[in-house]
Amino acid sequence: MNLTRVTTLIAMLAFALGNLFVPTASAAGANAGLTPARHFHLVNATFDSIIALAIAPADEVSFHDIALDQPLQGGLTSMIFDVPAGECLRDLRVTFHGGGTRLLPHIDVCRSSGLRLTSQIAKGGASS
């Protein structure tokens, strides 16, 4: 092999290795200030469909509506939604088909990743 070929191969190798590290460094810099989203799993084990869902910091009145593509049918239907950034203790407001609304206060979204709604909750009883 002559010297020109060796120099060209080394330059190409250095360029290729340099390109491997550039995307990794820029991706790490872009994600440095982001915190992962907190996900919450809601299971509707009631007999009624959930037609609206909202979340707020505990004891606050400014609820944030959670988008439902369609009503969350009763039975064992579930969904996962992103919890807005903020404190751990949250209040959930659940509206059932037929107009019944239940407030589920002081749910710790940091210590639990989900909630199962039962027919007792839909009727206004204790949560599970």
Q: Is 105 part of a structural domain of the chain?
A: yes
Same domain, 27 and 64: no
pLDDT > 70 fraction of the chain, expressed in percent and rounded: 66
Least confident of 22-26, 54-58, 82-86: 22-26
What are the residues whose beta carbons fall under 8 Å from the beta carbon of 83, sequence distance 6 or more?
37, 38, 39, 40, 55, 90, 109
Domain residue limits at 71: 38-122
Q: Is the pLDDT of residue 17 over 70?
A: no
Same domain, 22 and 49: no
Residue 30 and residue 45 in one domain = no
33, pLDDT greater than 70: no
112 and 50 co-located in one domain: yes
Looking at residues 104-127, what average pLDDT do you find? 83
- pLDDT of amino acid 127: 45
Residue at 128 is within a domain: no
Domain at 94, CATH number: 2.60.40.2890
